[in-house]
Amino acid sequence: MTPTTGTITVITPNENTKAIVLVPADPNEPVDNYLDDIDPEEESQEEAAAIERDPVGRPLSDFEPIDDTEGEIGPAVNTLPVVPKLDLYDFQVYRPNNTGRVWSGLEQIYSAPIQDLYGRVTRHLESITWVQITSWNNLMPTDQVFEVSFTTSLRFTQGSEVNRGFNMGATYKGLSIGVNGSRRNFTESETTTSRTVTLRINVPANTLMVFYQRRYDFRDETNFRHYRARQNWAVGVWNAYHPLETKISRVQIMSEEYFTATRFLPHGPGTVNVTLAPQVALPRDTLRRNDTMPRARRNIAAMGI
């Protein structure tokens, strides 16, 4: 229905376009709900044997403890000027012209006296997208005022099972990325909480107005570092040392950034240059997944791998 002069028409996104916060897997949920029954006696015997011998049967007296601690490297993004929004308005979609690696870190899955398991997360920016929330075509000879609401959120679109091992969503808190020489810091309402913003938009007479909200798409690749037999190991796949076992998860952030245009943006994609973050190193020695400790195998399986 065409609005009359002086009328405020309330327009909100429909369920196909509005950002919906998905509840990730509960990190406190027992992993036993997702696994076959185990034999406690068999597991205790295997863990006891691991105290005396390494995964290929050599006595631990043959080993010297290895220090796998990596020095921290400050990412170059910290030196970039901070901007509230990125200056990208020519296309609807932008993709990195490089690997798009924006962050890497180690997240603890569990720690015990003779063993532990960490996830090494490598985060890539896959795309930056202007999502069309709604549009108005004011055919009246006078200006019209419209009201629109949009919602900020973080949601998993793939691989939320990783949260059974550690809280992947929490790793986005305080995230900064470098794009085209500028730094974009994500706010708490974009990564930790969710809020709805309502705006009143003035649309001139005989004018099309399109309202966009910016979305950031990320891909997280989680590999595993396992401590057993007095040594840290990278974890390979079943029955092989390479490739490394990997859990893929994807996250979308519907940001606070919005944009009104008098035309529909072309799809593109355009390209952006991402300031690459250093990647946390894994140990040089690799362990087959079936040679990891029972608890490690169970935790990795619980994450849907």
Digits of tens for pLDDT over the chain (305 positions)? 444 334 333 333 333 333 223 333 454 554 444 444 454 545 555 565 555 455 555 444 333 333 333 333 345 888 899 998 899 999 999 999 999 999 999 999 999 989 999 999 999 999 999 999 999 999 999 999 999 999 999 999 999 999 999 999 999 999 999 999 999 999 999 999 999 999 999 999 999 999 999 999 999 999 999 999 899 999 999 999 999 999 999 999 999 999 999 999 999 999 999 999 999 999 999 999 999 999 999 999 999 99
CA–CA gap between residue 75 and residue 58 (Å, rounded)? 40
CA–CA gap between residue 297 and residue 36 (Å, rounded)? 12
Determine the pLDDT at residue 123.
98
Determine the pLDDT at residue 151.
97
H-only helix segments in 158-293? 188-191
Determine the pLDDT at residue 84.
87
Cα–Cα nearest to 113, from 27, 32, 230, 225: 230
CB 125 within 8 A of CB 177: yes
Domain spans, the chain = 92-303
Determine the pLDDT at residue 61.
33
CA–CA gap between residue 232 and residue 66 (Å, rounded)? 8
The DSSP code for 65 is -
Q: What is the DSSP string of 101-153?
A: EEEEEEEEEEEETTEEEEEEEEEEEEEEEEEEEEEEEE-SSS-EEEEEEEE-E
Phi, psi (rounded to 5 degrees) for 226: -125, 130
- In the three-class reduction of DSSP (H, G, I as helix; E, B as strand; rest coil), residue 257 is classed as strand
The DSSP code for 32 is G
